[in-house]
A and B are shown apart, each in its own frame.
Chain A
Amino acid sequence: MTPLNRNQIAWRAAQDIRDGMLVNLGIGIPSHAADFIPPDRDVFVQSENGIIGCGALAGKAEADSDLVDASSRRITLRPGAAIVDSVASFAMIRGGHIDVTILGAFEVAAKGDLANWDSGVPDKGPLIGGAMDLAACTGEVWVTMEHTTRSGGARLLDACTLKLTAVRCVTRVYTDLAVVEVTPEGFLVHEILPGLSREELQARTGAALRFAPDCRTLEAPPLAAA
């Protein structure tokens, strides 16, 4: 039983991006999902700084300091890309025009609350960025993250302990151990890592898990760690 690595978590989430979607990808694991969107799906990636149609990362020769995504990475544009200002970009986000946003998280609660902007590190300044707008206003909010903290603490909880980004917003969670849907009745497991028992998954989770009748094994191709 080997948990998925970060690239494999991103790959698994990317398989659920549907043809024609407009998606926003957060920093960290979510940003890698762009590399694994199946080629038969025509998808536009939006970035909060106003880019609709982010392409691959720019090579050294083509890198341009004015063509960057919200993570300050120098990128290219895909065919059909457009660029707007921040006001229009957040009108797109708050107005519900983004189909799905994939975000990193520290904690997710069983009723869908998300904590992903303040890990409680003392002294460092706050960083909200676009996370609250994306989480509160996007129809589908998917979270990619490791199932537990480095010290083994649960991150899927009855209630978040860290500062909230938005309430009742997360619809799905992709971890290194499972794919979990957030339902009105709480967490519902759709996929579980082969070799991991339901009891073991429950033991690493801070809220009650239910298992879908057609619960499958969680699989991803071999990929180098991100």
Chain B
Amino acid sequence: MPIDKRVNSTAEALHGVQDGAVVMISGFAGAGFANILIHALAELGPRDLTLVVNSATHPLSRTHELIEAGLVRKVICSAARGRGRDLSPFEKLWKEGRIELECLPQGTFSERIRAGGAGIPAFYTPVGVGTEIEMGREVRRFNGRDCVMEEAIVGDVALVRANVADRYGNLSFRYAQANFGPAMLTACKLAVVEVCEARDEPLPQTAIQMPGSFVDRVFAVGDGVGEGA
């Protein structure tokens, strides 16, 4: 059967996501948030989720909808501080002890995801040595420098935003849209991408930044980026 990874609804895109899922959400600094899919996941309402997301509090991401709806058990991120004086939805639940938090250096965060997708169970990095990150981690010396061991992160579903896809799931990103997306697509059992446009004809090889072999489902949402609240 000819390959066609395009789906026609968010329900199809998210079919099979269950309670307890580890959900990876891409996006950084306003670029690459899969806000249509995030919103749809909040409406679908699976509970007890672990979110792997760079920021738990970015105002342009709809991640807060999952948090406010009480669907999230744990967040793994590199940033969990809201900008305003008032506490963000994440900070409020975290202070109340209702969400578990693992805050990592951003490079360690992205490399743990990369390792998860690349079949590497753990690695050593000098980042975090001598800081509170070192607590509870194995330390080993390489080439005269102490390093901490970091374990891979794998997920059940990745929600990623790209610009254009083709029927094979090949992806092209705009500007800084890729960020954590490619690594997350490799690290999850189910890789779902929302795109501005999903074409029938294949993308030119030179335009492909992520091969479709790492992508399971593509949902075209047009120009709408579903920003913020």
Q: Is B183 part of the contact surface with A, judged by Cβ < 8 Å?
A: yes
Known: A124-B81, A132-B133, A136-B128. A66 touches B176 (CB 8 A): yes
- Are B110 and A125 in contact (CB-based, < 8 A)? no
Q: Is B142 part of the contact surface with A, judged by Cβ < 8 Å?
A: no
A 119-133 binary contact with B (CB < 8 Å = 1; else 0)? 000011111111111
Q: How many residues of A contact B (CB 8 A)?
A: 42
- Are A125 and B179 in contact (CB-based, < 8 A)? no
Known: A87-B111, A87-B183. A72 touches B105 (CB 8 A): no
Cβ-Cβ contact count across A and B, 8 Å cutoff:
152
B 4-31 binary contact with A (CB < 8 Å = 1; else 0)? 0000000000000000000000001111
Residue ID in chain B nearest A73 by CB atoms = B29
Give the residues in chain B near A83, CB-CB below 8 Å. 175-176, 178
- Interchain CA distance A85-B225 in the complex, whole Å: 20
Q: Is B217 part of the contact surface with A, judged by Cβ < 8 Å?
A: no
Known: A85-B180, A167-B129. A69 touches B29 (CB 8 A): yes
Give the residues in chain A near B227, CB-CB below 8 Å. 65
Known: A126-B80, A128-B79, A128-B105. A85 touches B179 (CB 8 A): yes
Q: Could you list which residues of chain B lie within 8 angstroms of chain A, going by C-beta atoms?
A: 28-32, 54, 56-58, 60, 78-82, 87-88, 90-91, 94-95, 101, 103-108, 110-111, 113-114, 125-133, 163, 174-183, 225, 227
Q: Could you list which residues of chain A lie within 8 angstroms of chain B, going by C-beta atoms?
A: 48-51, 64-72, 74, 83-87, 89-90, 93-94, 113, 123-133, 136-137, 163-167
19 more CB-based (< 8 A) A-B contacts, given A129-B105, A167-B130:
A49-B28, A49-B29, A66-B32, A67-B176, A85-B178, A85-B182, A86-B180, A87-B113, A90-B111, A93-B107, A94-B107, A94-B126, A124-B82, A125-B90, A127-B79, A128-B104, A130-B107, A132-B127, A133-B108
